[in-house]
Amino acid sequence: MPRRRVIIGQAADSRTVILGDDDVSPISVSLFPGAEFLRVWGSDGTPQLPASADAVEPNDWFPPPGGFRFAFVTLPPHTTTMPEDLDMAAAVVEFQGKLPGLAETMEPDSPGMHTSDTVDVVLIVSGQATLDLGDGAEVTLEAGDCVVQHGSRHAWRNLGSRPCTMASAIVGARRTA
């Protein structure tokens, strides 16, 4: 579902002004039926103040070191399945085109498992999610719970019966080891 995005900034005379007020539509991909990815805002570098009304939103899902993203992700219940006639090659191309940089972090042999050079602050807005840390370690999170993820290998799973929506602040980090 689209979400309203209001962007507040500062005019040349230092007054607080509305720079933008629009709806942002989620991205869906056939490789993950029922999932929605909604990019709200981000930057590939340190934000500059005062902000500009014509700021360019970055294209890649994950930010580089010093950049940030704010997004919502909705995961469908685990009972959601891909259509039997899905053209997998076309679905991968669609995924890479609509969510650049996300596919490259995924492990092909372990669906959903990925590692990114980011610090993610995630709030479960609705539903329930299980954060799979691999090797049998997992934690179940409910609406209102939050997690801070430091560039570690993980996968999000919705083992519940209704969609789970998460709000994520994603900060680009530099991996040293």
Domain contains 12: no
Pair 124, 82: CB distance under 8 Å: no
Domain contains 17: no
Q: How many domains does the chain have?
A: 1
Q: What is the rounded average pLDDT of the residues 43-61?
A: 82
E strands, 31-160, in order: 36-43, 68-75, 118-126, 128-134, 137-142, 146-150, 155-157
Decide if pLDDT at 53 tops 70: no
Q: What CATH number does residue 76 fall under?
A: 2.60.120.10
Q: What is the rounded average pLDDT of the residues 17-40?
A: 94
Decide if pLDDT at 62 tops 90: yes
Task: Output the pLDDT for position 111.
Answer: 86
How far is 87 from 94, CA to CA, in rounded Å? Answer: 11
The torsion angles phi and psi of 129, rounded to 5 degrees, stand at: -135, 145
Domain contains 3: no
The range of the structural domain enclosing residue 65 comes to 23-172
Domain contains 6: no
Domain contains 73: yes
Task: Output the pLDDT for position 58.
Answer: 85
pLDDT tens profile 151-161: 999 999 999 99
Q: What is the share, in percent, of the chain residues with pLDDT greater than 90?
A: 76
pLDDT tens profile 118-176: 999 999 999 999 999 988 899 999 999 999 999 999 999 999 999 999 999 999 999 99
Decide if pLDDT at 115 tops 70: yes
Task: Output the pLDDT for position 51.
Answer: 78
Task: Output the pLDDT for position 54.
Answer: 65
